[in-house]
Amino acid sequence: MKLVEDSKLDLDAPVSSYLTRWQLPPSEFNNEEVTVRRLLSHTAGLTDGLGYSGFKAGVTLPSIEQSLTKAPDADEGLSGAVRVGIQPGSTFKYSGGGYTLLQLLVEEVSHQSFADYMTQSVFKPLGMTHSTYMWSDSSSNGLAEFYNKDGTKSEHYRYTSLAATSLYTSLADLELFFQAHLPGKNQQPVGRNVLRPETLKKMREPHAQSMGVDMWGLGTVLFAPIDNNDFIIGHDGKSTPPINTAVRLHPQTGDGIIVLETGHPNVATKLASEWVFWHTGKVDLFLFQMLTGDMVNSIGIGWIVIIVLIIAYGIVRRKRLTER
């Protein structure tokens, strides 16, 4: 969005017009309909579903172009190929690969590495001194331990997909990041001179739906509607080993919650979603999906039990008839 404000990107221009290092492979759909707006809102028709598991220390990371062609660290069961498999603009389909494509786009347009651009154009202006996309083991900043589900310590994985999976930050820095949506002390403007207020508002406008509910803006998840056609916003994240992060912000009151945790796949999301319900009386989209999943599992188990009982009853009845 900063590049859009600087007139270096058009939200609705074909992404291909900016790319020289890689292009989407040919498909049955028109790749020219893949735009920045649609990539930001997961409506570009990409079907990768990524999901990156990362690489262990010492492994040579693939280039962005190699990762887009076929990500070797794709989560289990995913092809890892970024391509158009649905009519662009027709529906919401989550795509981590779309954000890796945006990462490449930032590099192409800014002529900087993604990590350098973000540091110079976003982190430093906002005072985020403990945030980076490129972690060095010699860094003076302490790195939290990572844990597996069983409580044992896990390795630290590295990523090519920086934009989708590799932000290292702190609670305090994330607070600064989300405060940019609010007016600050000493007449600090909304956007903190990094983005304009109207750009931030545009990021909170609905661009995608799930189950008939508005749920995605331009890079932001719309968790629950509030007054004045606005939303509780934020984003959640998951990775391997079980790392779960969640942020919710009420852009009108400034209230919010940030949870960063490791060792459990969804406790951060549950806590943040409960905060939305406590704060607004509305069930946010992620909690609804969790509850729906639990309900479906319960119904499924119930049907299995019923079927087993019917079969058992049939066997017993048949045995009795045979004995007669």
Q: Which two tokens stand for residue 158?
A: 């590295």
- Distance (Å, whole) CA 8 – CA 31: 21
Q: Helix (H, G, I), strand (E, B), or coil: what is residue 299?
A: helix
Mean pLDDT of the 215-244 span = 93
Q: Helix (H, G, I), strand (E, B), or coil: what is residue 40?
A: helix
Instruction: Give yes or no for a contact between 222 and 216, defined as CB atoms under 8 angstroms apart.
Output: yes
What one-character DSSP code corresponds to residue 222? E
pLDDT at 302: 58
Instruction: Give yes or no for a contact between 92 and 216, defined as CB atoms under 8 angstroms apart.
Output: yes
State which amino acid sits at residue 221: V
Compare 322 and 241 and report the one with higher pLDDT: 241
CA 173 to chain centre: 18
Q: Helix (H, G, I), strand (E, B), or coil: what is residue 221?
A: strand
Instruction: Give yes or no for a contact between 208 and 215, defined as CB atoms under 8 angstroms apart.
Output: yes
Average confidence score pLDDT of the chain: 89
Q: What is the DSSP string of 56-77?
A: -TTPPPPPHHHHHH--TTBPTT
- Maximum mean pLDDT: which of 135-139, 248-252, 284-288, 289-293: 248-252
The 208-210 sheet, strands edge to edge: 208-210, 213-216, 221-226, 230-239, 243-249, 256-262
Instruction: Give yes or no for a contact between 67 and 102, defined as CB atoms under 8 angstroms apart.
Output: no
- Distance (Å, whole) CA 76 – CA 17: 33
Sign, CA torsion 62/66/68/74? negative
Largest CA distance in the chain: 92
Pick from 240, 227, 222, 75: which is nearest to 166 by CA?
240
Q: What domains lie within the chain, and their CATH numbers?
A: 2-179 (3.40.710.10), 211-324 (no CATH)
- pLDDT for 40-81, tens place per residue? 999 999 999 999 999 998 899 999 999 999 999 999 899 999
Mean pLDDT of the 21-33 span = 97
End-to-end Cα separation, the chain, in angstroms: 80
Mean pLDDT of the 186-195 span = 90
Mean pLDDT of the 3-20 span = 97
- Distance (Å, whole) CA 114 – CA 198: 24
Predicted confidence band of residue 188 (pLDDT cuts 50, 70, 90): confident
pLDDT at 183: 86
Q: What is the DSSP string of 109-154?
A: HHSS-HHHHHIIIIIHHHT-TT-BSS--TT-SS----EE-TTS-EE
pLDDT at 250: 95
pTM: 0.87
Residue 33 has pLDDT above 70, yes or no: yes
